[in-house]
Amino acid sequence: MKNNDFLTLVKKRFSCRAYLEKEVTDEDIAYCLEAARNAPSSCNKQPWRYIVVKDKILKSSIAEKCLLPGLKMKWIQDAPVIIIACAQTSFVTHKLASLLSKNNYYQIDIGISGEHFVLAASSLGLATCWIGWYKERKIKRLLNIPRRVKVLSLITLGHPKCEKTSASKLSLNKISFIEKWGNNGYE
């Protein structure tokens, strides 16, 4: 892989909110899950669990009953796949470590693993969108998700119906400091 290939892939990804009716193959879904499965995690606990929802009725129920108000997101039911990114929260090591460090390790773990999934999808020419604006309790009831499992995000997946719309990103010198907070960063 050339140095630039990874950045090209990263920059290809965008939040896609319109999808073609074309099916996503199970082979492609498994490929993305394999990327997610190989993510690093705190104490190697691998707390991620993914539910793959393709059923039209379930997708409509998610769009109609499980989203928080205020954002127009009915479009999610037209995505061929909705991934429910969950975390197993019952690991004692995670809990003890979090008490001491005040870090939420399973949230970090699912963020990393989920982005592996998303970038793998981009590498296959598929598009995704992270969705955080949902009612967790309703999703859990709809999909029989156990009590000790936390739903951390939905991710829509499909073939994009539109070109990438570029969201503005902060410059390198705004997001990086050299040696100490506030020092000039990279250009």
Ligand X SMILES: Cc1cc2nc3c(=O)[nH]c(=O)nc-3n(C[C@H](O)[C@H](O)[C@H](O)COP(=O)(O)O)c2cc1C
* Binding of residue 126 to ligand X (CB under 6 A): no
Asked whether position 129 contacts ligand X by CB under 6 A, the answer is yes
Should residue 131 be labelled a site residue for ligand X when binding is judged by CB under 6 A? Answer: yes
**Does the footprint of ligand X cover residue 133 (CB under 6 A)?**
yes
What kind and span of H or E run contains 1?
A: none
Q: How many residues bind ligand X (CB under 6 A)?
A: 12
Give the CA distances from residue 42 to residues 17, 98, 141, 151, 176, in Å, rounded to whole numbers and listed in that order. 32, 10, 28, 18, 24
Strands (E), 11-148: 48-53, 81-88, 127-131
Note whether 14 binds ligand X by CB under 6 A.
yes
Q: How far, in Å, CA of 148 to CA of 94, rounded?
A: 13
Cα separation of 118 and 129, whole Å? 8
Q: Which C-beta is closer to ligand X: that of 26 or that of 64? A: 64
Of 37-45, 83-91, 123-131, 136-144, the window that binds ligand X (rule: CB under 6 A) is 123-131
Interface with ligand X includes 132 (CB under 6 A)? yes
- Residues forming contacts to ligand X in the complex (CB under 6 A) are 14-15, 17, 71, 73, 129-133, 153, 167
